[in-house]
Amino acid sequence: MSKSLQAIRGMNDILPEQTPLWRYFEGTVARLLDNYGYKQIRMPIVEFTELFKRSIGEVTDIVEKEMYTFEDRNGDSLTLRPEGTAACVRAVLEHGLTGAGQPQKLWYIGPMFRHERPQKGRYRQFHQIGLEVFNIDGPDIDAELIVLTWRLWGLLGIRDAVKLELNSLGTSESRGRYKVALVGYLSAHLDKLDEDSQRRLKTNPLRVLDTKNADTQAVLVNAPKMADYLDDESRIHFEGLKARLDAAGIPFVINTKLVRGLDYYSKTVFEWVTDKLGAQGTVCAGGRYDGLVEQMGGKPTTGVGFAMGIERLILLLETLEQVPEEISRQVDVYLCAFGEAAELAALALSEKVRDQLPNLRLQVNAGAGSFKSQFKKADKSGALYALILGDDELAQQVIGFKPLRGQGEQQNIAFDALAAHLATCVVQG
C-alpha cells in the first residue's frame, strides 16, 4: 500500500474484534459515573492553542514538544487537545456552569493527541475518560474520586494489579517556599544533575523530582521534601483525605516525588500505577487544581479531577485475562433462509420478532448461499441458535430451531410462536 494510505504512526484503528472490550469498559465506567451523580460534558477536539499554553503551562512536556498545532484558514493557531481539563474549564466558564459558587461534577470521554514516541501503552492519538469537580473544596470529594476508581477496579477485576500513590503539593505559597529550598539544594549539586534536570531547575524545578535519570535520582535522596513545607491548610486537607481512604479501606502509599507533569496542580495529587504494563504504568492520574480557573480568567473556583488512559486499562484487562467471555458474543440468533420465497417470509418474520423482542440480537443471513455455507456463517457468528427456513418449512408456516452450542434438540416452531419461544431461551440484556 502506498504510504499516503496508511494511518498516522501512533494513531490506531480500533478494529471490530477489539470494540466489544472497549464498549464493555466504557459502559462500565459510564454506569458507575451515573450512579455517583456525575454528568457528562462533550467538548470540541480542537481549541485555540492559547488555551493549552495558558492552562497547562509553557514549561511542560506537553506544551514544549507534544502538541499538534496548526494554523487554520483564518490564520488562527489551533491545537488538537492533548488533555481534557483545559477545554472543560473553558466550557464551564463560557457557559457559566460554576457561577455563584455552584458545584459541578462532570465527566468526559474522547481522543487526546500528543506527539510522543509511540510504544506499548503510549500513542499519539489515545483516549481518556476524565472527571472534573468544581466548587467543592474539601477532602471528601478528593476521596470520592479515588473511591469510585477503586470501585471501578473492583468491577473490572483488576484491583490486585493497581496501587495508589498520593502526595500533596500544598498551596502555591507553600510550594513557592519549597521551590526555593529545592532549587537551593539542587544548585549545590548542579554538576551531578542530568542535562534535562539542569534546564528544568531554571524553568520548572518541581519537574526535576520526576526524573528517570539514576544520577539525579541519587542526588534527590537527600533533597528537601514537600511534606516538610506544607502549610496547615494543605496538611489538614491531606490528613482528611488519608482518613477517608482508611475509612473506605483503600490502601495507598505516599510518594513524595509525585508532582505530575502539568503545572496547575495544588494540594492533592495521585496516580494509580501498575507494574504489569512495563514503563507505561500509570493508568489513572489526577489531583486538585484550585488556582486554575482563576488563572484562566474565571472567578476563584476550586477544582479537582483525574483522567484515566483507556488504552492502558484495556491492555491491563487483556494482560490479566479479565475480559468477560460473554462480551465477544454479539449474536443470539442467526436466521438462515433458502430460496427467494423463504427469504421474503424470513424478512417479514424477523421484523415481527424484532417488534416483540427489541433487545434480541438477531442476525439474518444476507447474500444467500447453500445450506452448508449459511450454517457455517451461523456457527461463526457465535449465535446460540440457528433458525432455518426453506420451502418445506414455509409450506407448513414453521421455522426450524436449532441449538448451536449443544443445548437440546432441533425442533420446528410455528411462525406465530417464534417470539415467545425465543424469549424463553435467550437472556436479553
Residue 290 or 332: the one with the smaller Cβ distance to ligand ATP is 290
- Alpha carbons 267 and 176: distance in angstroms, whole number: 13
Residue 123 binds ligand ATP, judged by CB under 6 A: yes
Q: Using the rule CB under 6 A, give the single segment among 119-127, 156-164, 293-301, 349-357 that binds ligand ATP.
A: 119-127
Q: Using the rule CB under 6 A, give the single segment among 12-20, 101-109, 118-126, 338-346 that binds ligand ATP.
A: 118-126
Least Å from the CB of residue 118 to ligand ATP: 8
Least Å from the CB of residue 109 to ligand ATP: 12
Residue 157 binds ligand ATP, judged by CB under 6 A: no
C-alpha cell at 35: 450512579
Number of helices (H), then strands (E), belonging to the chain: the values are: 15, 16
Least Å from the CB of residue 372 to ligand ATP: 45
Least Å from the CB of residue 267 to ligand ATP: 16
Residue 146 binds ligand ATP, judged by CB under 6 A: no
> Per CB under 6 A, which of residues 174..233 are in contact with ligand ATP?
none
Residue 287 binds ligand ATP, judged by CB under 6 A: no
- Residue 96 amino acid letter: G
Least Å from the CB of residue 208 to ligand ATP: 15
Residue 378 binds ligand ATP, judged by CB under 6 A: no
Contacts 24+ apart (CB under 8 A), 419-426: 419/352, 419/353, 419/356, 419/357, 422/332, 422/333, 422/353, 422/357, 422/360, 422/385, 423/356, 423/357, 425/384, 425/385, 426/332, 426/333, 426/357, 426/360, 426/384, 426/385
- Alpha carbons 270 and 412: distance in angstroms, whole number: 60
Residue 276 binds ligand ATP, judged by CB under 6 A: no
C-alpha cell at 53: 499554553
Least Å from the CB of residue 30 to ligand ATP: 18
Residue 342 binds ligand ATP, judged by CB under 6 A: no
Q: How wide is the angle at C-alpha 259 spanned by C-alphas 255 and 261, nearest 5°?
A: 135
Contact with ligand ATP (CB under 6 A) among 114, 175, 207, 237:
114
- What sign has the CA pseudo-torsion 131, 137, 139, 144? negative
Residue 55 binds ligand ATP, judged by CB under 6 A: no
Residue 43 or 181: the one with the smaller Cβ distance to ligand ATP is 43
Contact with ligand ATP (CB under 6 A) among 258, 269, 307, 357:
307
- Alpha carbons 187 and 106: distance in angstroms, whole number: 42
Residue 285 binds ligand ATP, judged by CB under 6 A: yes
- Alpha carbons 135 and 302: distance in angstroms, whole number: 5
Beta bridge partners of 131: 107, 306
What is the DSSP secondary-structure string of 321-353?
T---GGGG---SEEEEE-SHHHHHHHHHHHHHH
Q: Using the rule CB under 6 A, give the single segment among 15-23, 114-122, 249-257, 395-403 that binds ligand ATP.
A: 114-122
Residue 122 binds ligand ATP, judged by CB under 6 A: yes
Residue 280 binds ligand ATP, judged by CB under 6 A: yes
Residue 163 binds ligand ATP, judged by CB under 6 A: no
303 within 8 A of 89, measured Cβ to Cβ: yes
What is the C-alpha end-to-end distance of the chain, expressed in Å? 42
Contact with ligand ATP (CB under 6 A) among 20, 103, 110, 261:
261
299 within 8 A of 116, measured Cβ to Cβ: no
Residue 316 or 384: the one with the smaller Cβ distance to ligand ATP is 316
Q: Using the rule CB under 6 A, give the single segment among 15-23, 245-253, 303-311, 395-403 that binds ligand ATP.
A: 303-311
Contact with ligand ATP (CB under 6 A) among 90, 211, 309, 362:
309
Q: Starting at the edge strand that comes first in sequence, how are the strands of the sheet with 411-414 ordered?
A: 362-364, 333-337, 385-389, 398-403, 411-414
Residue 270 binds ligand ATP, judged by CB under 6 A: no
- Alpha carbons 340 and 338: distance in angstroms, whole number: 7
**E strands present in 139-281:** 162-168, 253-254, 266-274
The continuous run of DSSP H or E covering 147 comes out as helix 139-156
Number of residues that bind ligand ATP (CB under 6 A): 19
Residue with cell 551531578: 192
Residue 130 or 224: the one with the smaller Cβ distance to ligand ATP is 130
Residue 271 or 290: the one with the smaller Cβ distance to ligand ATP is 271
Residue 273 binds ligand ATP, judged by CB under 6 A: no
Which positions lie near ligand ATP, rule CB under 6 A?
Answer: 83, 114, 116, 121-123, 126, 128, 261, 280, 282-285, 307-309, 311-312
